[in-house]
Amino acid sequence: MKIRTSLKAILVLVGALCLLFYPASSKADSITVPSTPADWKGYITSDHMDPGPNSAGTPPFGYVELWQINTDTVDLRVTLDPGNKFVSTGSGNFQDFLFNMTGGLGVGNITIEQNALYDLHASAGPFSADGLGPMGFGIRGYITYPNDPQPIGGGDGFTTPIIFQVYSATGVTIAQLTTPNPIIGGKGGNIFGIDMFSGQTGLTGLVDVSQEGVPFPVPEPGILILLGIAMSAIGMASWRISKI
C-alpha cells in the first residue's frame, strides 16, 4: 500500500513538473475582440493609388478599431468594406497592413489572430510606403513562413479582418498605437496604412487612416426633417409665385 501511494505521489509530481516546464504556444488560438463599441475608431479614407484622385473609388473603404482591454493589453481590428481586399504589392513594401508603435513596443509584443487565407506575421520596418512616408511595422501574409510569402497582386488578396493584440507587462495604451508617422519630404502624418485592392475600381495601392472619428458628418434625424420641411416650403412658395 505504501509503495502504491509513493508511486502515485511520484507520478503526480512528474506530471506537475511537465506542466511547469513544457513550453506554451506563443500563438493564441483565438483573439475575441469586445462586442462593445471601440475605444478608438478611424475610417480608411485617404487614397494614394495611381493614377490619381479617386483611384480607389468613393471613401470610406473600411475602418480600424482599438479597444483598451486593460492597462497592459490593446486589441486592434482592421475591417475592409465588402469588395475590398488586403493585398501585397510594392506600394506597401509588400505588407498588407502598416502601423506604428511607440514607447519601446516591438514585434515580440504582438499576437495575431490567424483567421485569414494566409499565415499572418508582423515585422519591424521602417517601411517606406509609397505616399505614406515611413511606417514602423507591418503585417504580411505567408503561405509558409518565412520563405513562401503571399502572392503579389490584387488577385491573391484576402477579405477577413486583420485582428491582433498588443501586450506589455509594463503597460500599453491606445495612444502608443495611434501616433502618426513623422512627416518627411511632404509625406507622413498617417496612423495606419493598408495595401488594398479596390472592389470599386479594380485597382491596387495604398489607402490610409489619418484621424480618429467619422470622416463625413452624418446629419441628425431632426435636422433631416427640418431640411425636408424647408425644402417643401421653398417648393410651395415657388409654385405660388409661378401662378401669379
Read off the pLDDT of residues 8-48 as tens digits, 9 standing for 90 and up. Answer: 444 444 344 333 333 333 344 489 999 999 999 999 999 99
| Residue 25 counted as domain residue | no
pLDDT score of 63 more than 50: yes
In a domain, 205, yes or no: yes
Domain assignment present for residue 114? The answer is yes
| Mean predicted lDDT score pLDDT of the chain | 84
DSSP line for 16-39: HHHHHHSPPPSS-S-----SSPPS
Residue 216 lies in a domain: yes
Is position 145 within any domain? Answer: yes
Task: Give the model's confidence band at 213: pLDDT under 50 very low, under 70 low, under 90 confident, else very high.
Answer: confident
Q: Is the four-CA dihedral 44, 135, 101, 115 of positive or negative sign?
A: positive
Task: Note whether residue 108 is domain-resident.
Answer: yes
Range of the domain at 56: 39-230
Distance CA 208, CA 64 (A): 10
Please tell me whether residue 134 adopts helix, strand or coil conformation.
Answer: strand
Over 80: is that where the pLDDT of 202 sits?
yes
Number of domains the chain contains: 1
Q: What percent of the chain has pLDDT over 70?
A: 75
How large a percentage of the chain has pLDDT more than 90? 70
- Give the pLDDT confidence score for residue 6 in this predicted structure: 53
In 3D space, the residue among 69, 75, 89, 62 whose CA is nearest the CA of residue 203 turns out to be 89
Rounded Cα–Cα distance for residues 29 and 2 (Å):
43
Can you read off the three cell numbers belonging to residue 73? 493589453
Residue 226 domain-assigned (yes or no): yes
Report the SS3 class of residue 151: coil
- pLDDT single digits (tens) 82-112: 999 999 999 999 999 999 999 999 999 999 9
Evaluate whether residue 13 is within a structural domain. Answer: no
Interval 158-180: pLDDT, tens: 999 999 999 999 999 999 999 99
SS3 146: coil
Which pLDDT score, from 0 to 100, does residue 238 have? 54
Alpha-carbon distance of 174 to 66, in angstroms, equals: 7
pLDDT for the residue 209: 97
- Mean pLDDT on 55-75: 98
pTM of the model: 0.77
pLDDT at 15: 42
Name 192's bridge partners: 99, 209
Reported as a single tens digit per residue, the pLDDT across 109-163 is 999 999 999 999 999 999 988 889 999 999 999 999 999 999 999 999 999 999 9
